A = this chain, B = another copy of it.
């Protein structure tokens, strides 16, 4: 069945090579033989972590997102370094952004964030057994931490205060919203 839906690449052209993403323009042959173009944002992949405290609260990060033009409340997340194992990346990003280390990182799901135009894949984990260490954000990251209860998070999702897809999904997958 897959062959009947699959597209074949005829030509591929690199448009831009950036610090975080690159952009490729592919010419593809469609299943009916016609030709179309696909704009593909190439991304190294990412992780997101739901840090669960023993009392059920969740450690969240608040940061300005230039693409969104506003401060968003999110679960900790970050992109994979070249060749980095996703679970190591999850441990690293959790500690860098929140200052906490986890004794357990449990894989919840791996998803394409928006497969209409990017290959970005995101590995989502739950972190447990948290102990405070030291926050060490990247030099261009400015992050506030908030530790919130499931009831607060449910309210903030329904009121529109949590507007980030991976955060909503991670909280559902970790059982926080159920």
Contacts and interface: CB of A to CB of B under 8 A. Distances in A.
A28 interface: yes
B119 A69 contact: yes
Contact of A5 (B37, B63, B67): B63
Given A64-B2, A172-B172, A117 B71 contact: no
The size class of the interface chain A forms with chain B is 35 or more
A17 B130 CA distance: 45
Copies of the polypeptide in the assembly = 2
Contact of A168 (B72, B117, B169): B169
Contacts of A163: 110-112
Interface in A106-120: 109-120
Q: DSSP majority for the A interface?
A: mixed
Interface string A144-159: 1000000000000100
A48 to B, nearest CB: 10
A30 B83 CA distance: 29
Interface of A: 1-2, 4-7, 9, 15-16, 18-21, 23, 25-26, 28, 30-32, 34, 36-41, 43, 46, 62-72, 74, 77, 79, 109-120, 122, 139-140, 142-144, 157, 160, 163-166, 168-169, 172-173, 177-178
